Amino acid sequence: MRSYSLIAPAKINLYLEILGDRADGYHELVMVLQSIDLADQIDLRSISTDTIRLHCDHPQVPVDKTNLAYRAAELMAELFPQALAQYGGVEITLHKRIPVAAGLAGGSTDAAAVLVGIDLLWNLGLTHSELEELGAKLGSDVPFCLAGATAIATGRGEQLSPLPDLDHIYVVLAKYRSLAVSTPWAYQTYRQQFGSSYVSDTVSLESRSARVHSGPLVNAIARKDRAKIGQLLHNDLEKVVLPAYPQVLQLREAFQSTGAATMMSGSGPTVFALVESQVQAEQIKEQVKTIMNHPDLDLWVARFCNTGIQVASSVK
């Protein structure tokens, strides 16, 4: 039986600005996204029945249609019924390393891996832009997860422009195991509190996202200036998540007290810090662990990476 094993990296947001809300209920964003080497492994194999089976080693992750990875497989089966008939169904196993509901695109990167894996299993030969288009149907972060690395994302987050690679920077991440923040809640609360207006003025929208394209963060990325990148981290969703979740605020303050550049990723609740070396990363991880002294707090050290979904092994 044919099988593929894929590596699916997490992402962090170096920048997230909400430009306004849209008629479709989403928000117009400008973000700078970065892949990190904290990654899930996704195994896919052909099976003789024309069904989709999903397994996961993490007890909190559903294995039904509510899982984006399942929906990715379902989308492929709907679009390519002949391939399903020819090659059979798919058994998918998710080996979760990326924390769940964390603001790190764990579900989106698994879905991206399923698109890539089924394209390979069924010999579809889809182009990268075709995969991106399918990814955008599943979720705003899925297109970025396909190629990963460093990119500006606009629109809902699905329109991408690549930036130069930044693979030498280390990241310390921390998240309370039992804490999850709902992404729709974070955006809705932002809309209620900050009254982001309906985006009808495309000129002002373009000029606001152009400001980021040619702005200081993108310049710092081009110069690979970690210290400057650290100073320019930004996330509008902190304005609603930190006041509503005092534990996340405390964690943010603990990171700040180490002197490292720190920010919440996406809609949270993961908080991260950027650091120069692995030694320094391990030190900051220990410092934050000691300051917080909480049995429910998980911490990781990771590194920026310049890859999206990658094939680790295959049996053809």
Instruction: Report, as residue numbers or ranges, the catalytic residues.
Output: 11, 141
Stretch that binds ligand C5P, among 57-65, 182-190, 253-261, 279-287 (CB under 6 A): 182-190
x-marked contacts with ligand C5P along 6-35 as a string, rule CB under 6 A: --------------------xx-x------
Consult the annotation and say whether 59 binds a ligand: no
157 binds ligand C5P (CB under 6 A): yes
What sign for the dihedral angle of Cα 180, 185, 190, 193?
negative
Residue 139: CB atoms within 10 A of its CB come to 21
Q: Using CB atoms within 10 A of its CB, is residue 1 exposed (0-12), middle (13-18) or buried (19+)?
A: exposed
239 binds ligand C5P (CB under 6 A): no
Whether 263 and 229 have beta carbons less than 8 Å apart is answered as no
Helices (H), 90-231: 106-121, 128-138, 142-147, 183-194, 202-213, 216-222, 226-231
Residue type at position 172: V
Q: Which is nearer to ligand C5P, 13 or 140 (CB)?
A: 140
195 binds ligand C5P (CB under 6 A): no
Q: Using CB atoms within 10 A of its CB, is residue 25 exposed (0-12), middle (13-18) or buried (19+)?
A: exposed
Determine which residue in the list 3, 46, 93, 183 makes contact with ligand C5P, applying CB under 6 A.
183
CA distances from residue 181 to 11, 105, 266 in whole angstroms, order as listed: 17, 13, 10
Consult the annotation and say whether 93 binds a ligand: no
Residue type at position 60: Q
Instruction: Write out the DSSP string of 259-278.
Output: T-EEEE-TTSS-EEEEES-H
189 binds ligand C5P (CB under 6 A): no
187 binds ligand C5P (CB under 6 A): yes
Shortest distance, CB of residue 274 to ligand C5P, whole angstroms? Answer: 24
Shortest distance, CB of residue 288 to ligand C5P, whole angstroms? Answer: 28
Consult the annotation and say whether 212 binds a ligand: no
x-marked contacts with ligand C5P along 117-156 as a string, rule CB under 6 A: ----------------------xxx--------------x
Consult the annotation and say whether 215 binds a ligand: no
Consult the annotation and say whether 312 binds a ligand: no
Helices (H) and strands (E) in the chain, counts: 12, 12
Shortest distance, CB of residue 69 to ligand C5P, whole angstroms? Answer: 13
Shortest distance, CB of residue 210 to ligand C5P, whole angstroms? Answer: 18
Q: Whose structure tokens read 């990148």?
A: 229
Shortest distance, CB of residue 304 to ligand C5P, whole angstroms? Answer: 22
DSSP designation for 58: -
Consult the annotation and say whether 157 binds a ligand: no
Nearest to 232 by CA among 210, 215, 208: 215
Which residue ranges make up the annotated binding site?
99-109
The contact set with ligand C5P (CB under 6 A) reads 26-27, 29, 139-141, 156-157, 183-184, 187
Which residue ranges make up the annotated binding site for ATP?
99-109
